[in-house]
Amino acid sequence: MEVRQNVLYVLTQGSYLRRDHQTIQVEVEGRVRLGVPIHHLQAVALFGNVMVTPGAMQCCTEAGVSLTFHTESGRLLARVDGPVSGNVLLRREQFRKADQPSQVVKLSRMIVAGKLQNSRNSILRAGRDNAAADDHAELSKAAEEIASLLRRLESVENIDQIRGIEGAAARVYFGVFGAMVRHQRDSFRPQGRSRRPPLDRMNAMLSFIYALLLADCVGALTSAGLDCNVGYLHSDRPGKPSLALDLMEEFRPLLADRLALTLVNRRQIQPNDFEVREGGAVEIKENARRAVVSAWQERKQEEIVHPLLGQSTTVGLLMHLQGKILARTIRGDIESYVPYTPK
């Protein structure tokens, strides 16, 4: 179990959450291993075979503490909240804009622009940190290609073109991802992006971190009063948190990918922290998941200055701030959504 920045992560298989007055207790094999007052929590994230009593669930929902259920490897399965907050007029406007092609293009263009800009900045940063001439040349070329795609993005006319540019940029980005791995490269060089299941160690770790990021984005949009299931860049599908997937795009290279690279390059994650299943699927072991969760929460506590708002905040609050900016854009309070793109 890990409690970091008001989030309780339960990764131990066979754990049991129960309520003791206004405290959430975690039992493992009949013993209370942890007790946290409910007013200290913002969210509870459960991974794999973890059970929750109705009393514990009621305690969380009454206190406004969300419960998220994940597979053991991190994929978000469900989220339990109390009564929905926010203005119904905001959600109705969100739905109306999702049915207007011009609005879908306008919002999706900015979402993809944020992702591409942050991807390019990550590549340039890796190029500055990498002394190998071959790697530097490969990374510089990729940065130029993404810059070209960014320029093309300005003149697109429909959502299919935007998705095409996003896909092309992703292929360029993951094509040079291995060049950003400075240490343990033989074990952590990815062969493109693979998922469901991930087929190498880096992709297994990325999928796990993306799941943590997605859960935070769902929570941020819910707090902003938006419906996380109705998006713009990502198409609608039952059970798919499309708007949360939209919001997380700008944060993938900036937070998730950079964290994975840091853990590998600092050798905080080792090749033996993964297990290869029959058929080639690669899974991250429980001890490594704990290390990733700890690093993720430490990263979220770092203080930064938001470039648009000009105010000090923490990395962990960025998704909430961007969710509010997105809500203001949908309401029409501001002209265009501005993604988070630090220099």
Give tens-digit pLDDT for 87-129.
788 999 999 999 999 999 999 999 999 999 999 999 988 888 7
Q: Sign of torsion, CA 29 33 39 41?
A: negative
pLDDT tens digit string along 227-264? Answer: 999 999 998 888 789 999 999 999 999 999 999 999 99
Query: What contacts 200, CB < 8 A, 6 or more positions away?
Result: 188, 189, 190, 191, 194, 282
Assess if residue 101 is contained within a domain: yes
What span, in angstroms and rounded, lies between the C-alpha atoms of 312 and 150? 29
Assess if residue 336 is contained within a domain: no
Q: Looking at residue 114, what is its pLDDT?
A: 95
Q: Sign of torsion, CA 314 317 209 47?
A: positive
Look up the pTM and report it: 0.84
- H or E stretch including 167? helix 159-175
CB contact burial 58-94 (16+ within 10 A = b; e otherwise): ebbeeeebbbbbbebbbbbeebebeeeebeeebbebb
Query: What contacts 8, CB < 8 A, 6 or more positions away?
Result: 1, 2, 24, 26, 34, 36, 41, 43, 44, 45
CB–CB of 190/282 below 8 Å? no
**pLDDT beyond 70 at 288:** yes
Q: How many CB atoms lie within 10 A of CB 243?
A: 27
> Phi, psi at residue 4, to the nearest 5°?
-135, 130
**What's the start-to-end Cα distance of the chain, in Å?**
35
Residues 163 and 27 in one domain: no
Interhelix angle 101-129/159-175, rounded to 10 degrees, is 10
CATH number at residue 263: 1.20.120.920
Assess if residue 341 is contained within a domain: no
**pLDDT beyond 70 at 25:** yes
Residues 174 and 105 in one domain: yes
pLDDT tens digit string along 294-318? Answer: 899 889 888 888 887 777 888 888 9
Task: Answer with the one of 52, 80, 108 that is the final residue of a domain.
Answer: 80
**pLDDT above 90: percentage of residues in the chain:** 41
Q: Looking at residue 2, what is its pLDDT?
A: 44
For 272, the token pair is 């033996």
CATH number at residue 26: 3.100.10.20
CB contact burial 274-304 (16+ within 10 A = b; e otherwise): beeeeeeebbbeeebbebbbebbbebbeeee
